[in-house]
A and B are shown apart, each in its own frame.
Chain A
Amino acid sequence: MNDVRDRLVGCFQGAFPALSRDAAIGATVENVKTWDSLKNFLLLTVIEEEFQLQIPQDDLDQLRTFAEIESYIASKTKG
């Protein structure tokens, strides 16, 4: 989980360079003002590249916080 978290923090900081590690871990669509649709696209791309995943649009629509994305990745990369 820590490995996933570290890599995901890297993705968030790539998309939102101003976020500290703690701010990235606590990030939500609501509290990160620059998290618009373009940033969402950027975040999606770097996460998919980093974790070798394809996140379907329907799943993506449900992922609105760092924590939700972290859980989602953990569930998809298990085993």
Chain B
Amino acid sequence: MKLLEAIRIVQAPAPEGAEPMSLALACGFTPDHFLTLLAAHVRAGKSKRILKTSVGRFGDLVGNVERLAALSGTANEAIVVPIEWTDLDERLGLRRLGGWLPEAFGDMIRTVNSRLLRIEAAVCRLASSSIVALSFPTLPLPPISYLPPNQAGCFETRLREEIAAAAARLAKIARVRIADPQAVDRCSVFSQRLDVRSELTYGYPYQTPHASALAAIFAALIDPPLPKKGLITDLDDTLWKGIVGEVGADQVAWDLDGHAQIHGLYQQMLRSLSAAGVLLAVASKNDAARVKEAFRRADLHVSAEHFYPMEVSWGPKSAAVSRILTAWNVGADSIVFVDDSPLELAEVKAAHPEVEGLLFPKGDEVAGYALIEQLRECFGKLGLGAEDAMRLESLRRGAEVRVKLDAADPEAFLSTIDAVIAISDERDSLNRRPFELINKTNQFNLNGHRVTETAWLARLADPNGFILGVTYRDKFGPLGTIGVVSGRCNGFALLLDHWVMSCRAFSRRIEHRTLSFLLERFDADEVLLDFEPTAKNGPLQEFLAAYLEEGEQLAPGLRITRSRIEACGPRTYHRIEEKPRE
């Protein structure tokens, strides 16, 4: 992105509903160009939020970070800290003439170490209330060492060791996000990063393409795109090389010997995605018996149990995708479909325009590897939780439960499944699951309101409010934390501002039992809900409609009385366990 383009993006009127994001840039250089590029990249990102920015003093990155950390009660949503060598020791930059003598190398390393420790201490404080995004030196070291430029000596390697150690320590801290040097290298040519003239004249060290690349990475760190939830894959010439119906299960390949390693890498990626909680399914026009046989091969890197559902038939793939979306109960916009046939991709796209279709490039390892990298981009997430490991299994069990509910008397069935709802006080800032659930749940969502990290931290610290996690298990196994409800109790009335529940937990009356439990726990006579209809919260609306008075319409500011809940709620069979705050 060119600077003038960035200026135009920033100067354009903000989209309706764009929420302001307060951001501080702690850097040592003249900040204006970089801030403009950062604001433009954030504006171009998913939430199109405006930046309200603040900056510190020129040439004092460490002091700027420390001053931000010392300010209390003025939390920025995000702090961006682009660290360059000159910030760690001015002798490693171009604007100070402190000498490049070998006898100073030891002192330079000590200075770098001490400044990194100061940055680390300040970042730890900042990260208790803000997202802190850092990059470590992206510009070349000046030719300080006496060694020929192709050789890394003790001095350079020690400097880099200090950087790596600091990065490793900081990466462990919640809300600290470090720019991956590999990501910077991918999009910015090393020899075209430093602008010597601009650094010497204006104190701004970056050529615009590098500044733009770095700003784009920071924008993605502080406002990451929502990861996709599921991947639907084709089999022949995608999961493996060859047509299993033609060559047989023992002849399809995914290894070096079969010149099919790229398919093995793809399988390995799918297995990794599955371990990270990504839903996997198969949509293949194929002979079901042959496919079963292929999945019996012990050398597959991802097995049949990692896929649900397995749609193998001769029908249109768009129909298979429809069935998979129903089984998963997720929106088409959170799905990636991978196939080697452009025709199949187009057919699915025509029926499900929101599905992201990706071509598995037949016989092209370079493009195949690019696809594998792209998958990580689609599904990359900030952390793994216990629910990630059980998601696919609980969907599978959910389908079984629905079948049994349809087939049997629901009362008889629900009364025998030993259902337990555990309610826990979630005011524990280390548990990200409630925050993530509120920000990704669409169907059972009271109002669709999302919360920023800073607003969430403020909620956690609010002594007058409550945030309760809802965890569920029955004799078919655990579903993990599937719901969050937050609000406050105002005398006899309970005010709920967030209530979300994962679609995996539908059909078990958990929402009805949660509602009656809330009244019992807070000894309230009525519930006031900050309800808003959205395009996607139909299941929530259906649930609330059961409690409406005759002739009453669902509308914002909905009020439900205890007597109404007792009269209209279905019978529930759950045992409630209440867990205190950890």
Contacts and interface: CB of A to CB of B under 8 A. Distances in A.
Interface of A: 10-11, 14-15, 17, 37-38, 41-42, 45-46, 49-50, 57
A41 B7 CA distance: 14
B563 interface: no
B8 interface: yes
A46 B3 contact: yes
B514 interface: no
A38 B30 contact: yes
Contacts of A17: 11
Given A41-B204, A49-B208, A57-B201, A14 B4 contact: yes
SS class of chain B's interface: helix, strand, loop or mixed?
Answer: helix
Nearest to A14: B7
B146 interface: no
Contact of B4 (A10, A37, A41, A57): A10
Nearest to B201: A57
Contacts of A42: 3, 32-33
Contact of A46 (B7, B11, B197): B7
B4 A49 contact: yes
B4 A50 contact: yes
9 nearest A-B residue pairs (beta carbon): A14-B7, A46-B4, A41-B202, A14-B4, A49-B2, A46-B3, A45-B3, A17-B11, A49-B3
Interface in B130-177: none
Contacts of B11: 14, 17
Interface string B185-208: 000000000000110011010001
Interface string B556-568: 0000000000000
A17 B13 CA distance: 13
A45 B8 contact: no
A17 B202 CA distance: 22
A38 B11 CA distance: 18
Contacts of B202: 37, 41
Interface string B454-488: 00000000000000000000000000000000000
21 contacts: A14-B7, A38-B32, A41-B30, A41-B33, A41-B198, A41-B201, A41-B202, A41-B204, A42-B3, A42-B32, A45-B33, A45-B198, A46-B2, A46-B3, A46-B4, A46-B7, A49-B2, A49-B4, A50-B2, A50-B4, A57-B201
A14 B30 contact: no
Interface in B189-231: 197-198, 201-202, 204, 208
